[in-house]
Structure 1
Amino acid sequence: MLTVVGLGSLAERLYTDLVTHGSASAHALAERSGTDPDETAIALDELAAHGLIAPRTAPDSGPGGPSGGGRPGAASHFAAAPPAVALEALLAGQRHALRQAELSAAALAEAYRAATSDGAHRDLVEIVVGPAAIGHRVEQVQRGAERELLALVTGQYDVVPADATGAETEAVERGVAYRVVIGRQALGAPRAAETLFEALGRDQRIRVADQVPTKLIVADGALALVPLTEPGENGEPAAMLVRAPGLVKLLVILFEQVWEWAHPLGLEAGLPVLGEAPAGQPVGVDRRILSLLLAGSTDQAVANQLGLGLRTVQRRIKAVMELAHAETRVQLGWQAHRRGWVQD
Structure 2
Amino acid sequence: MTVTQTSHTLAVLGIGDLAEQVYGGLLDRPGQSAAEVTRGSGASQAAVKEALRELEDRGLVTRSASRPVRYFATAPELALGILLRQRADELDRVRAATAAYQARFAHATGSTDPLDLVEVVVGQDAVLQRVTQLQRAAQDEILVLDTPPYAASHQVTAAEVEHLERGVRARVIYDRSALEVPGQLATIGRLRELGEEARVRDGLPTKLMIADRRHAIVPLGFTRPGIDGIVLVNASPLLDALCALFESLWQAATPMAGSVDAPDDSDLLTLLAAGLKDDALARQLGVSRRTVQRRIQRLMRTVGADSRAQVVLQAARTGLLPLSTSG
User: What is the TM-score normalised by the length of structure 2?
Assistant: 0.70
Q: Distance in 2 between matches of 1:95 and 1:182?
A: 38
* Cα distance change of structure 1 residues 151 and 108 upon mapping to structure 2, 3 Å threshold: same
Q: Does 2:162 align with 1:170?
A: yes
Residues of 2 paired with 1:145 and 1:114: CA distance?
22
Mapping 1:68-217, distance limit 5 Å:
76-112=69-105, 118-119=111-112, 124-158=117-151, 162-164=155-157, 166-189=158-181, 191-217=183-209
Equivalent runs, 1:231-246 vs 2, <5 Å: 231-232=223-224, 236-244=228-236, 246=237
1:283-342 deviations in Å (ceiling 9; x for gaps) = 5566455xxxxxxxxxxxxxxxx9xxxxxxxxx8xx66x53x4x8xxxxxxxxxxxxxxx
State yes or no: 1:254 paired with 2:245: yes
Q: Which runs of 5+ in 1 are unaligned?
A: 62-66, 68-75, 290-305, 307-315, 328-344
Could you tell me how far 1:193 is from its partner in structure 2?
Answer: 4.2
Closer, same or farther: CA 222–236 of 1 in aligned 2, 3 Å: closer
Q: How far apart, CA to CA, are the structure 2 residues paired with 1:119 and 1:159?
A: 39
Name the SS for the 1:239 alignment partner.
strand
**Given that residues 26 and 40 in structure 1 are in contact (C-alpha distance below 8 angstroms), is that contact kept between their aligned partners in structure 2?**
yes
**Pairwise CA distance, 1:181:** 1.5
Q: Is the 8 A contact 2:56 2:62 kept in 1?
A: yes
**Is 1:7 matched with 2:7?**
no
Residue 120 and residue 98 in structure 1: after superposition, are their counterparts in 2 closer, same or farther (change >3 A)?
A: farther
> Does residue 1:28 correspond to 2:19, yes or no?
no
Aligned length: 278
| Larger CA deviation: 152-161 vs 10-19 | 152-161
Partner Cα separation in structure 2 for residue 105 and residue 125 of structure 1: 20
RMSD, aligned α-carbons: 3.6
- 1:43 positional shift: 1.9
Residues in 2 aligned to 1:203 and 1:196: alpha-carbon distance in whole angstroms: 11
Structure 2: 5+ residue runs without aligned partners?
1-8, 275-308
Taking the aligned partners of 2:50 and 2:44, their CA distance within structure 1 comes to 10
Deviation at 1:158, TM superposition (A): 2.1
SS at match of 1:267: coil
Please report how far the alpha carbon of residue 135 of structure 1 lies from its aligned counterpart in structure 2 after TM superposition.
1.7
Shift of 1:237: 1.7
Partner of 1:230: 222
TM-score normalised to the size of structure 1? 0.67
Q: Using the aligned pairs only, state the percent identity.
A: 32
Q: Does the aligned pair in 1 maintain the 2:186–2:261 contact within 8 Å? A: no
Q: Distance in 2 between matches of 1:116 and 1:253?
A: 24
